[in-house]
């Protein structure tokens, strides 16, 4: 399709850093989409729907560009934990997650408006949190970091370091599962560098446990 550049439909610094690992040209166009779940909407369907909505919000695209959009949520027993409303809400979420497992879903959408072609992928990572203390929660909240994060935490935060183990894509927990994105981009003739899996592991600082066919 002659795709030469990616349009990242996100203003997130984390997603900007992650997509840069692909070594492909990209530009950023932030979008504003209502992220509220529909009544009874499962978390995996929510992130797929929102990733598509974010992608479709970008319409001024050249023929040699594709739009990449993503949405990520934290879910405990099917209950979605969004971004905390305030410090007390962040503390509640972190206490709920402490010492237990949950799922992080990331929906990826690649959209080519000129042709109308769209591909969607879903990353489902199971995450186990360590038994951090109330004092650690308070210090983390004082840093301000959890207030704009789904589930009130960032897996990559060096001081809090809340995650004990991940089964699945660690970058999906950060908000942009590059292995799944690479598979979607391949359907538009965009080949990611062979060095991408190594760059992913180096950035994530964790072993990759996604299906082997995604990272070949």
Catalytic residues: 71
C-alpha angle with apex 180: 148 to 125, nearest 5 degrees?
A: 55
Q: Where are the beta strands (DSSP E) in 96-179?
A: 101-112, 117-129, 163-167
Residue 5 CA to residue 76 CA, distance in Å, equals: 37
**Strands 101-112 and 163-167: what pairing?**
unpaired
Q: How many CB atoms lie within 10 A of CB 111?
A: 27
- Contact between 21 and 178 under an 8 Å Cβ cutoff? The reply is yes
């Amino acid at each position: 399709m002659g795709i030469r550049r990616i349009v990242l439909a996100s203003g997130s610094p984390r997603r900007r850093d992650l997509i840069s690992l692909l070594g492909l040209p990209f530009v950023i166009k932030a979008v504003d989409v209502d992220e509220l779940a529909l009544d009874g909407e499962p978390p995996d369907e929510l992130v797929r729907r929102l990733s598509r909505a974010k992608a479709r919000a970008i319409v001024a695209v050249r023929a040699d560009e594709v739009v990449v959009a993503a949405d990520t949520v934290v879910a405990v027993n099917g209950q979605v934990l969004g971004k905390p409303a305030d410090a007390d809400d962040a503390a509640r979420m972190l206490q709920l997650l402490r010492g237990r497992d949950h799922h992080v879903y990331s929906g990826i959408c690649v959209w080519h408006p000129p042709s109308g072609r769209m591909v969607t992928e879903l990353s489902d990572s199971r995450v186990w949190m360590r038994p951090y203390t109330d004092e650690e929660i308070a210090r983390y909240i004082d840093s301000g970091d959890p207030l704009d994060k789904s589930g009130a935490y960032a897996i990559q935060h060096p001081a809090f370091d809340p995650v004990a183990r991940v089964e699945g894509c660690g970058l999906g927990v950060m908000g942009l599962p590059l292995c799944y994105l690479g598979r979607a981009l391949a359907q538009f003739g965009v080949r990611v560098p062979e060095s991408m899996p190594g760059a992913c592991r180096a950035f994530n600082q964790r072993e990759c446990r996604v299906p082997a066919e995604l990272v070949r």
